Amino acid sequence: MKKHNIMEELCEEYIEKSDEHEINIEKDSKVLKNTLDMDIRENIPPQLISIVAGVVNIIEILEKGEE
């Protein structure tokens, strides 16, 4: 329970600061705390993104009907 409360307090601080600087952030601390440890730049290595890029490029070629 303590861990969750600390996270919520931190999120409330983020919300306050974002208001001060007129930046958009999720305004419900209970929701916000579940979105913070998701950073695709940190969690996914470039090698995997490279696979995604390759597939998207092939899909686009196939969609256009080019070989």
Partner 1 sequence: MKITSFLNTLKLNETKKENVKINSDKKESGFDSLSMEKTNENLKIYKTLKDNNVEPTKEMIEEIKIGFDKLDGAFNQKIESLDMLLKKDIEVSEKNFQIIHNSLNTKVDYNKLFEVLSKYGENEEINYDELLNKLGFSKKVISEFIINLSKNMTVIDNLMSIINNDFINELTEVDKENINKIVDGNENVDDKTFELKVDEMLNEFEKTVNEVIDELKNDVPIEVIDLVNSSNFRMFLVETTTKEMNEVKNEFDNFKKENLNLIDNTLSLPDGNKNVDKKINALEKVINNFENIIMKSDITLYTTMKQEKELINMTSKLEVAKEYLEKNDFSEAKEVLKEVKKELDKIDFKPKDVKVKAFMKKEANKILFGEKNNFKDIYNTFSKKNKGVRDTLEVLRATGVNHDSEIAQKIEKSDFNKFQMNNLKNAVLDIMKFNEGKVSNELKNTVNNITGNQFQNKLEVKSNVQQMHFSIPYELNSKIKSLDLYVNSKKENEKMDWKNSTLYFVVNLKNYGKTGIRISSTNKVVNMNIKNDSDEFKNNSYKLFNSFLDELSEEGFIRGKVTYAKYLDENIEGNIKKDLGINENKNGFDVRI
CB of 60 to partner 1, least distance (A): 6
Decide: is 21 part of the binding site for partner 1 (CB under 8 A).
Answer: yes
DSSP H stretches of helix in 1-67: 2-20, 29-32, 40-43, 46-64
Instruction: Round to whole Å and give the CA distance between 20 and 12.
Output: 12
Minimum Å gap between C-beta 9 and partner 1 is: 13
Which residues within the stretch 26-65 sit at the binding site for partner 1 (CB under 8 A)?
26, 28, 30-32, 34-65
C-alpha separations of 6 from 15, 18, 20, 24, 64 in Å: 14, 18, 21, 22, 51
CB of 29 to partner 1, least distance (A): 11
Residues that bind partner 1 (CB under 8 A): 1, 4, 14, 17-18, 21, 23-26, 28, 30-32, 34-65, 67
